[in-house]
Amino acid sequence: MSRKSSSVLLYNKKLNNNMRNFGMITESEWVGLSIKDAIEKATVEGFTHRIVEENGVGYMVTADLKADRINFRVSNNKVTAAYGG
């Protein structure tokens, strides 16, 4: 097995097999939820999460992309935007 093939297999093993819809999300299913409810929903559906903006203040985040992560923008404890990565 080539080095590239083993890297791909290793990456695929790291992905959560319990992730809903292969990691694809629709923003409308998250917008309007309280951040607490959004985090619970993300966890149950196999995603990790991070808050990238809160009340108009953006946070410094890493530029890496993760198929099992949802990024939330939050205002007054409500999700205003959600996207994968």
pLDDT higher than threshold 70 for residue 22: no
Which helix (H) or strand (E) element contains residue 70?
A: strand 69-75
Contact 83/61 with Cβ under 8 angstroms? no
Q: What is the pLDDT of residue 25?
A: 84
pLDDT (average), residues 26-53: 95
Confidence of residue 69 (pLDDT cuts 50, 70, 90): very high
46: left (phi over 0), alpha (psi -120 to 50) or beta: left
Q: Residue 24's pLDDT is what?
A: 77
Residue 38: which domain range? 3-84
| Number of folded domains that form the chain | 1
For residue 38, what pLDDT is reported? 97
Question: Given pLDDT bands bounded at 50, 70 and 90, which one contains residue 23?
Answer: low
pLDDT value at position 55?
97
Show Cβ contacts of residue 58 under 8 Å, excluding neighbours closer than 6 positions: 52
Q: Distance between CA 6 and CA 44 in Å, rounded?
A: 29
In this prediction the pTM is 0.75
Residue 77 pLDDT > 60: yes
Q: If DSSP codes are grouped into helix, strand and coil, which group holds residue 29?
A: helix
CATH classification at residue 30 = 3.30.10.10
